[in-house]
Amino acid sequence: MSFVFPVHFSLLLFTTSFPLTIGVSLYEKVQLLETSYADIKEVLECKVLNLETKVIALEAKIAALEEKAEHQESVLTTLQNEQENTTPMAPDSVEIDHPIVKNNPIFRTCYEMNEANPLLDSGMYWIDPDGKGIGDDAFTVYCNMTSGSTLIFHDTEPKTDVGHCAGRGCYSRKVNYGASNRQVAALIALSEECQQSITYDCISAPLQFNGVDFSWWDDKNGEPQYFWSGNNKSIHTCQCGIDRNCVESHITCNCDSIFQKPLTDSGTITDKNILPIMRLNFGRTMENSSSGLYTLGPLECGGKLETKQLPSSCEDLWRIGHVFSGFYSVMGEKFVETLHCDFSRRPDQQSKQRKSISFAIFYEQNGA
């Protein structure tokens, strides 16, 4: 009995599984395969389409990058050619590590340097206006040897957009020069004349509106100044106001016009007693159509302020070259006097301690 049972069980398994295999016809199997193939083909086609789209996008980005690289190479080549063919008039920064001309004696101004050696070319040189060995360190400037003028650059050389704002002086920027205040003051004191140019390109950006000053500049003492050319501190004016050729006859600056079109005010400040310009302030540029861009030139000083044959002050003594503090004889109102001069201070800040010593005694002894 035990031998027959496994045979019948195996036969039962065979007869049970056979209908499952032969129940699906060959046609149906083909139909199932075709359906599966169609589904797989559709999925693959979608993936291929996505890949082709990504490839097209990548090719476009590569083309844009290549075009940008070619443009940058072109710009670089142009700049290099311009640099080779032109003489630089201003440094990129107010800080310069060394002058172009080496082993040159350090003078107080470019004018003095030009007097000593008229054959020098224009360029960057060291100068020390407050005196060699005292005060602040020497610094580099641009010397225009044609005119003998000294140019001190600052960090506001490029044309600058003041943006959009409504209030008085809502845009404000301090001007930092490539020399200390002491050295700048010394250069001005030594020079016969100093000047600084400023240009304002504007569209609906008045410097003054209905009698209210929206823009001004601060002088060396921090005082606001509202004139943009010349040396008349008492009035609001630009160069066109001085020349009487502004776009409207009743205004003194082109930018004060009501015309909504590009206008320009250019001028040169010539009052050396209040230079350099230390801060610029602009306002009333709140309209979308408003625009204000300023360009501030370097401080330029030239000539030599002549001293009387007999110095009458510590400043006169410093101007002719004295740098050591102490007692000096100078010409007083009636007779020679002795002053104590402190040359460690700025020339315009030196205290004058009048000590009428030797000649006062002479007058007393002689009954004068």
pLDDT tens digits, 96-105: 344 454 456 8
Q: Summarize pLDDT for 118-141 with one digit per residue, the tens.
A: 999 999 999 999 888 788 999 999
Q: Are residues 291 and 336 in the same domain?
A: no
Count how many domains the chain has.
3
Give the model's pLDDT for residue 105: 84
Give the model's pLDDT for residue 13: 39
Give the model's pLDDT for residue 98: 41
Tokens representing 113?
Answer: 């340097």
Any idea what DSSP says for residue 349? Answer: G
Query: Are 278 and 175 contacting, i.e. CB atoms less than 8 angstroms apart?
Result: yes
The reply to whether 103 falls in a domain is no
The reply to whether 133 falls in a domain is yes
Tokens representing 322?
Answer: 């004295």
Query: Are 275 and 195 contacting, i.e. CB atoms less than 8 angstroms apart?
Result: yes
The reply to whether 16 falls in a domain is yes
Q: Are residues 156 and 248 in the same domain?
A: yes
Q: What is the DSSP string of 130-190?
A: T-TTSSSPPEEEEEETTTTEEEE-BTT-S-EE--S--STT-EEEE--BSS-HHHHHHHHHH
pLDDT mean over 327-338: 70
Residue 294: what are its φ and ψ, rounded to 5°?
-115, 155
Q: Are residues 279 and 233 in the same domain?
A: yes
The reply to whether 93 falls in a domain is no
Give the model's pLDDT for residue 47: 84
Domain that holds residue 183: 110-302
Give the model's pLDDT for residue 310: 64
- From the centroid of its chain, how far is CA 289? 25
pTM: 0.63
Q: Summarize pLDDT for 184-213 with one digit per residue, the tens.
A: 999 999 999 999 999 999 999 999 999 999
**CATH number for position 182:** 2.60.120.1000
Tokens representing 32?
Answer: 């199932």
Bridge-based pairing of strands 193-203 and 336-341 is unpaired
User: Which of 48, 68, 88 marks a domain boundary?
Assistant: 68
Confidence of residue 75 (pLDDT cuts 50, 70, 90): low
pLDDT mean over 154-158: 92
pLDDT mean over 230-248: 95
- Res. 18: pLDDT tops 60: no
Burial track 84-111 (b if 16+ CB lie within 10 A, e otherwise): eeeeeeeeeebebeebeeeeeeebbbbb
Q: Summarize pLDDT for 298-332 with one digit per residue, the tens.
A: 999 999 987 666 666 777 766 666 666 777 767 67
The reply to whether 263 falls in a domain is yes
Q: Are residues 230 and 123 in the same domain?
A: yes
